[in-house]
Structure 1
């Protein structure tokens, strides 16, 4: 199944991170892009709205998921990935690898074919 992952970031939180954390953030995107690049192309579809949306955040090393497209104050859309995943659980596992899940959130929307 295909999922659109909208990446929300809070620049203030990222700027407050240590130099090592910011370097890990950039390296994390490089690693994620390499993994997703190996998956091959994806087709086209329409993202669902507002049903079936899950938002993933990493806080204090723990994954938080919530139903719905809820962003925190200061979060702005910073990018997106269109991914192929077996199911929502697999999509959440990919979203956990998005570095901005620590500084914002990743909204997962199933694509209707």
Structure 2
């Protein structure tokens, strides 16, 4: 079976205290329970806002430059993710559809290299 990343994308400046209500939390909890019961969930994690990120870049002199903020300036950032083990892409996409509904956000599904 292949492992897939199911990543939730939030708009820049996303504030979960404003955007996420009790119904959304219950939906995400129910999805997590369903994934566990199906035996597909390997790992799940929510991320702090992109403004809390640190970016590291190797310099020609061998030093590593650390800067505040995300690596890319974008309008959306990964806000959380699941790592799932699914039989095929179609199964992973079915879980991704459920994630998009539960999280009320765009979702990206991508396989890991084997």
Q: TM-score range by the shorter chain?
A: 0.5 to 0.7
Q: CA deviation at 1:22?
A: 2.6
The list of structure 1 runs, each at least 4 consecutive aligned residues, that deviate by more than 6 angstroms after superposition, is none
Alpha-carbon contact 1:28-1:97 (below 8 Å) kept: no
Structure-1-length-normalised TM-score: 0.54
Q: CA deviation at 1:41?
A: 6.4
Q: Given the superposition, is the C-alpha separation of residues 106 and 40 from structure 1 closer, same or farther in structure 2, using an over 3 Å criterion? A: closer
1:12-58: CA deviations, max 9, x gaps? 7x946xxxx8322111110111122231664xxxxxxxxxxxxxxxx
5+ residue gaps, structure 2, are 43-73
Paired with 2:25 and 2:93, the residues of 1 have a C-alpha distance of 20
SS of the residue 1:112 aligns to? coil
Q: Given the superposition, is the C-alpha separation of residues 27 and 74 from structure 1 closer, same or farther in structure 2, using an over 3 Å criterion? A: farther
Paired with 1:112 and 1:89, the residues of 2 have a C-alpha distance of 17
* Aligned match of 1:89: 90
Alpha-carbon contact 2:4-2:83 (below 8 Å) kept: yes
* Aligned match of 2:113: 112
Aligned residues: 77
Q: CA RMSD in A?
A: 2.7
Structure-2-length-normalised TM-score: 0.54
